[in-house]
A and B are shown apart, each in its own frame.
Chain A
Amino acid sequence: MATGEGTFVPERGSAGHEAPQKKRYAMVIDLRRCIGCQSCTVACKEENNVPPGVYRTWVKVVEKGKYPHVSRSFVPILCNNCVKPICLLNCPVQATYQREDGIVMIDQHRCIGCKYCIASCPYGVRYVNPLKKYVQKCTFCHHRVDNGLVPACVETCIGRARIFGDMNDPSSEVSQILATEPVSVLKPEMGTEPRVFYVGLDLDAADALKTWQRAQEA
């Protein structure tokens, strides 16, 4: 349900009339609060034992403008845990699956490391673990979520930019932000319905490589 470029209005649950709804985890990243500190990047690596050279989340730093009118933008990137994950469709051995609460998981015992999912993910957030040789990615720290804790990146976020919760629960903090703030997602044209939303996303920064290449060609 795209309403103009880069804007995405999430589909809302039906206001909680029916009794206990399924959970749908989502993250909102309020970029007005992001300071580009990479605390999430390192916290994630510590929490999930991510080896050097690969990341589950990172913060893209983008400098924009001509001197003296220059600004910087930060865009934290992580698995969008999409509603319609392409990676899931493309996995030949069904190692990738989606939990009821929307978290896209990889069964490490099934994964054969063929990298089809890596090629098909529009966000480039999957990697092959160089030590274990199977594919991994952000799972919203499902082991923490299952034990009643927010993901590690959310816990540590210095500017309190990352907000996590159940978007099917209208009283949750993510639902309230989705209801009151204009949000965007990355690459809405891919039709994946990402569940990581950004407040204040600069579109040039969102796809900086494309913008940069465009500028080089011009």
Chain B
Amino acid sequence: MGKVTRRDFIRTTGAIAAGATLCPLAAEPMELKMGGRSVSRTTQRFHRNTYSTCLNCYARCGIIGYSADGSLAKVGGNPNHPNSLGRMCAKGHAAKDILYDPERILQPQMRVGARGEGKWRTITWDEAYQVLVEKLHALWAAKTPEKFFFYSSRDITTQRFTERFVHAFGSPHALVHAGLTNQNKRLAQEMTWGVPVEVADVVNTEYILNFGANPYEAHYLRTSFVQRLTEGRLTKIVKRQVHYGAKLVTFDPRCSQTAGRSDEWLAPFPGTDGLIALAMANVIMKENLHDEAFLRQWTNYPIDKLRQHLARYTPEWAEKESGVSAGDVVRLALEFARSRYATTLSTGGVSKHANGVQNERCVMLLNAVTGRVDALGGFCLPRTYAFSEPKPIPPRPTVKSPFFDSRSGRESTYGVFSEFAKRKDKTPPVAVWFTYMGNPAYECPQTEEVLAFFKDETRLPFHAAIDSHMTETAELADLVLPASTYLERWELESPPSMEMVPFVGLRQPVVQPRGESKPIMDLLIELAEHLGGAMTQYFTFDPEDYLFEQVSEIGALQKAGGLDYLVQKGFWKDLEAKPDYARYKKDGFDTPSGKFEIYSSRLEAMGLNPLPTYEPIDVYRDMKPTHLALITYQWNVHTHYHTANSLKLSELVHRNPIVINRSTGQAMGLQTGDVIEVLSRQGSVQGEVLLLEGIHPKVVAISDNCGHWGYGHVARGKAFKSTNPETVLLWWEKEGNGTHVNPLIAARVDRAGGGVAWQDTAVMVSKIRSKEEPGFVEKYLFFLVD
């Protein structure tokens, strides 16, 4: 059989190639030094280096803070960092815009007027603690500690610490932002192979099937990931071996930067990726190109039955539902299966649907069927270090929460918001709410209702926001506490390694905390001391002790010098460890069966289809011919909401025209630049339309990140006088700051995952007025060519 020889070939060549095809990403062939230093333009003196870790997005790249005379001159990449290799994205470079933002909150603020009126009184930290202690003691006295809610968002890494605080207080309600965004993907992966996320070994691969991911603009390991992707796509000779450039095939209703630079772009209708993947798996099984050994030994479903299950997912059905031709499905399936090294990519485009968990599992199945799981150039398990917590660890409170979500095993962030949005008359189950570096008023679906909840003093009696900026949510708080940014704090990180060797990264202050701002750890430890009682036993350390404790169980790091080493270098990796593939062969998968669960017992227990299945999305099934499907996307220069007040980033993207296919738009009598209304069952928004060729004719795309009504002058697109002379030069006042898409999106979830179905909205589009000013096309930076 052809299959066997192919597998054998991979096995024998794989070992050689393992060393050879690892591309020399970190090499420094340029004669001048690539990085690691920075020099002052005026004094020609080198800056002082502080090695740290970025947190302007989840990728957590290695950075160097370059400072002179105690202030930060610039931030650059750390060239030795094992993941980011000295490269940094636009967001990382805008660090100073966030740190030295003239609109940062630098002192505790107490509300004076009505909630949301914007009148504040500056108070001392002692006063602030007094208010908090009073409110929190009242909960203890009433024996209702579960009425304390803590929502933390963008500073993902402190979530464990905030959870410790909330649990020690006696409440189970430690809510996280991730519950709103990628929960479907995380759960799908966990139930299938026991880890929350994959690392596609793109640098060593030769074929990539990309379902709805857009790594050129956004990815959870963005800079580290995409630099290996571009490297992997080029054919070259490495150590006398040919590395064949990977072919990149992208399925995306919108021609994203990634899709536009792919070898092939195919535009399926939103939410049908799972069906395409199943049809491909079907073709591969039919042609006997599957990996018999992996399926038999490492998955929990018999091959014959799998073949039977897949038989009904024909390429023709896939064509009917998705619009991608059956011929393409067959051809790409065969190409994928016949490539020596191949992998899939998939992110929000696949899993932020009502059928998100199933979609993700269908895509994962492709890797299992072809045996690309944790293989060279394949779909790999993440390599990270686990940190330990100082003992005693507060036990999870036994109070039963109405928001407990058995799917994720924790309190559902989404559940809280949708429930609070609904219950307008009942006594609220919340008395004290903390928001840390989060902006639910802006980032939740059904914005109107969530806003109403935060404004309503009877439903939300007390709200303290801990943030560096006056976000839309902080504006509605009763007390605002100044938080230190990631450039002023101590933290430890272990993001999944792209080199397949885990490492530890350190975040340390590159400058001292500005004003009276406090790092969250210091704040919570101090608050625990003020609270006293049972809290104190869990917070008997200072932040440095906490970090020390976290890495205490990583022996090799201790030998290398522990925290001192990290402070010197910014990261640590085990130099003796070599990349190892097929790790599951040693330990199995972290699932109930120890195998890659094609048949998910967790889904079965929920009464859902345990096999990877295509479930049509009802919203789209009932769509009228005049309706369009709404999808959202991210920009390459913004992270969610929180980079919007950066001048340098908002200068590049400050508004988000509503993108519609040119033919569709012309048929409706639209022209680029016209102002249109987009209407869904949930709400309506207005904005300028941009007609592009690169989008599915039945789809409307509106980006995230724009349309702020609060936060700061820059985010709102208003020039203003400040200590920064550049803020008066803000030039896009007339253009406006775009459209906030969330009011259109209903709070619906995937039954299996509980994550929000962000991409399932049917909308109608109508023209409001013709364009007045020259439209987007005539402007800077963006051109169209026929």
Q: Is the CB of B729 within 8 A of A52?
A: yes
A165 with B32, Cβ < 8 A, contacts A37-B89, A52-B729, A158-B226 known: yes
How many Å from the CB of B506 to the closest CB on chain A? 21
A72 with B74, Cβ < 8 A, contacts A155-B35, A163-B30, A208-B783 known: no
How many Å from the CB of B276 to the closest CB on chain A? 15
Q: Is the CB of A48 within 8 A of B30?
A: no
Q: Is the CB of A147 within 8 A of B46?
A: yes
Residues of B within 8 A of A160 (CB): 25, 87, 227, 230-231
Given A67-B697, A159-B227, 10 more A-B residue pairs with CB atoms under 8 Å apart are A36-B257, A43-B88, A43-B90, A47-B41, A49-B41, A61-B257, A62-B785, A65-B694, A143-B40, A212-B786
Q: Is the CB of B90 within 8 A of A72?
A: no
A35 with B230, Cβ < 8 A, contacts A149-B35, A173-B30 known: yes
How many Å from the CB of A155 to the closest CB on chain B? 5
Residues of A within 8 A of B96 (CB): 46
Q: Is the CB of A144 within 8 A of B39?
A: yes
- Residue of A53, A157, A169 ringed by the most chain B CB atoms within 10 A: A53
Q: Is the CB of A42 within 8 A of B90?
A: yes
A130 with B729, Cβ < 8 A, contacts A35-B230, A66-B786 known: yes
Residues of A within 8 A of B41 (CB): 47-49, 143
B265 contact from A58, A71, A169, Cβ within 8 A: A71
Q: Is the CB of B39 within 8 A of A143?
A: yes
Q: Which 6 A-B pairs have the closest CB atoms?
A: A72-B260, A208-B783, A70-B694, A159-B230, A42-B90, A215-B786
Residues of A within 8 A of B647 (CB): 52
Q: Whose C-beta in chain B lies nearest to the C-beta of A160?
A: B227
Chain B 486-528 near chain A by CB (<8 Å), digits 1 or 0: 0000000000000000000000000000000000000000000
How many Å from the CB of A102 to the closest CB on chain B? 15
How many Å from the CB of A132 to the closest CB on chain B? 10
Chain B 254-289 near chain A by CB (<8 Å), digits 1 or 0: 010101110001110000000000000000000000
Q: Does B368 contact A (CB under 8 A)?
A: no
Q: Is the CB of A67 within 8 A of B695?
A: yes
How many Å from the CB of A165 to the closest CB on chain B? 5
Q: How many residues of B contact A (CB 8 A)?
A: 73
Chain B 219-232 near chain A by CB (<8 Å), digits 1 or 0: 00001001100110
Q: Does B321 contact A (CB under 8 A)?
A: no
Q: Is the CB of B93 within 8 A of A70?
A: no
Please measure, in the bound complex, the distance between the C-alpha atom of A149 and the C-alpha atom of B651, giving whole angstroms. Answer: 28
Q: Is the CB of A46 within 8 A of B260?
A: no
Q: Does A148 contact B (CB under 8 A)?
A: yes
Please measure, in the bound complex, the distance between the C-alpha atom of A41 and the C-alpha atom of B29, giving whole angstroms. Answer: 23
B662 contact from A38, A67, A71, A147, Cβ within 8 A: A67
Q: Does B371 contact A (CB under 8 A)?
A: no
A43 with B93, Cβ < 8 A, contacts A64-B785, A164-B32, A208-B783 known: yes
Q: Whose C-beta in chain A lies nearest to the C-beta of B731?
A: A53
How many Å from the CB of B103 to the closest CB on chain A? 16
Q: Does A115 contact B (CB under 8 A)?
A: no
A63 contact from B729, B731, B784, Cβ within 8 A: B784
A149 with B649, Cβ < 8 A, contacts A62-B783, A63-B694, A158-B227 known: no
Q: Does B76 contact A (CB under 8 A)?
A: yes
A36 with B636, Cβ < 8 A, contacts A158-B227, A165-B31 known: yes
Chain B 10-39 near chain A by CB (<8 Å), digits 1 or 0: 000000000000000100011111110111
Q: Does B77 contact A (CB under 8 A)?
A: yes
Please measure, in the bound complex, the distance between the C-alpha atom of A33 and the C-alpha atom of B23, giving whole angstroms. Answer: 14
